[in-house]
Structures are given as C-alpha cells and as structure tokens.
Amino acid sequence: MNFEIYKQLLAEIEPFGAKLIAVSKTKPAEDIQLLYNEGQRIFGENKVQEMVAKYEVLPKDIQWHLVGHLQTNKVKFIAPFVSMIHSVDSLKLLQEIDKQAEKNNRVINCLLQVFIADEETKFGLSKEELIQLLASKEFSTLTHVRICGLMGMASNTEDVKKIEAEFAGLKTIFVELKQAFFPNEPAFKELSMGMSSDYKIALKQGATFIRVGSMLFGER
C-alpha cells in the first residue's frame, strides 16, 4: 500500500468535490485497516460473501459500497449494513432490495447501473430500460430503496475520446432522468464512474464517486 498515492489521489479529486471509493476486492482486511487508519471510510467490494466477512472484522463506521453484480438471493446478507448498492440492473433486484431493507427497518441507497460500454460483458440497463423501470407501477410502490443516481463502466480501451464520450453520455442520461423522474428529490445526485485507468476522465465529466482499486491496493 502506497499512502503517497492515496494522498495524491485525494488532492486530485478534491477540486471536483467527488468522493473516493477504495475498491478493496480480493485484498485482505489488514490492507483496508491501514487505509482506514489514514482516514478512508468508504470501501467498495464486488462479492457479497467477501464484503460480509470484512464487515464482521473491521470498524463499524466503514461505509460499504457494493460495486459488483448482485444476485437477488444474496441481497439478504448485506441488507443489514450496506451503505450503497451501485449495481442495480433490474426491477426484480430492486424489489428484493426493498423487501430486505424493510425487514431490517432501513432504506437502502441504490444506484442504477447503466450500460455505456460497447462490450457484451458489462452489466447494466439501457436508457429505454431505465425509463421503463422508473415509470413502472411496481417501482412507484417501493418504499425502502432510495435511488441516489447512476453508475457506469466505460469500455476497456486506451481511446480517451471514446471513454470521454461514454461518460458524457452517462451524464446526459443522468440529467434527463433527474428532470423526468426526480426533479424534487435532492438524493438523486450521484454519478459513479471512473476506475484506476479512467478516473481523471470521469472527474472531468462530472463523476461524484470514483471507484479506485488497483491504483491504491496494487494489482490483483
């Protein structure tokens, strides 16, 4: 772990007012504790079991963000404590989060994952699917989820212009959905985009959360 890189990264994102999610997947709890000691409180994981195991042994004021694909049958394990779920990509999943949140007397913060890359493997909803979900009667009855914004992953490419265009496209969808569905909801304000390789581009395109793993914790 290189604390110099951590400090530099914080200084770099500070002018943008964005927040850093330290993506600690595959890294031991000891690494998280070290960064925690430096002041970091938001950590990201992509697997439910791993997040639960780390939650149990680490300080309770850590805010745990789930950034990876989430299966409906696993929502119950993180519902008691998760701070935000970035990877909501279906109504069915949202309904299950709502149900488990209610059981825990909580409202769970969620981001809707948008498909912006040109790769088959990346999860997420299209703009049309987002509109359909948000306009649905089923969605309007949910009481224990709070939609805080959108998340996206750009294509894995060196082509800066392409990444820029994908993030800009996500920002445009964010503005349109905000106007159409959340005009009076201040909670809908987050744009989670940018990883180790492209966070600089994401910040310029309006990211409010960047999700950085390998740059902080080393290669996986």
Ligand X SMILES: *Cc1c(COP(=O)(O)O)cnc(C)c1O
Helix (H, G, I), strand (E, B) or coil at 41: coil
User: Could you tell me the sign of the dihedral formed by the alpha carbons of 56, 58, 61, 64, in that order?
Assistant: negative
Q: Which residue is nearest to ligand X (CB)?
A: 213
Q: Which is nearer to ligand X, 44 or 145 (CB)?
A: 44
Is residue 157 a contact point for ligand X (CB under 6 A)? no
The two structure tokens encoding residue 160: 């800066």
- How far is Cα 104 from Cα 88, in angstroms, rounded to an integer? 19
How far does Cα 173 stand from its chain's mean position?
16
Is residue 51 a contact point for ligand X (CB under 6 A)? no
Other C-beta atoms within 10 Å of 50: how many? 16
Is residue 171 a contact point for ligand X (CB under 6 A)? no
Q: Which is nearer to ligand X, 68 or 206 (CB)?
A: 68
Scanning 56-64, 172-180, 182-190, 210-218 for contacts with ligand X by CB under 6 A, the matching segment is: 210-218
- CA nearest neighbour of 190 among 88, 68, 77, 80: 88
Q: Which is nearer to ligand X, 69 or 178 (CB)?
A: 69
Tell me how far, at minimum, the Cβ of 94 lies from ligand X, in Å.
Answer: 18
Element spanning 148, H or E: strand 145-153
Count the residues in the chain: 220
Q: Write out the binding residues for ligand X, residues 91-130 only, by CB under 6 A.
A: none
Tell me how far, at minimum, the Cβ of 197 lies from ligand X, in Å.
Answer: 6
Q: Which is nearer to ligand X, 69 or 99 (CB)?
A: 69
Is residue 80 a contact point for ligand X (CB under 6 A)? no
Is residue 156 a contact point for ligand X (CB under 6 A)? no
Is residue 65 a contact point for ligand X (CB under 6 A)? no
Burial of 141 (0-12, 13-18, 19+ CB in 10 A): exposed
Q: Which residue has the tokens 């201040």?
A: 186
Contact predicate 22/214, CB 8 Å: no
Is residue 145 a contact point for ligand X (CB under 6 A)? no
Contact map string, positions 16 to 35, toward ligand X, x by CB under 6 A: -------x-x----------
Residues that bind ligand X (CB under 6 A): 23, 25, 46, 67-68, 153, 195-197, 211-215
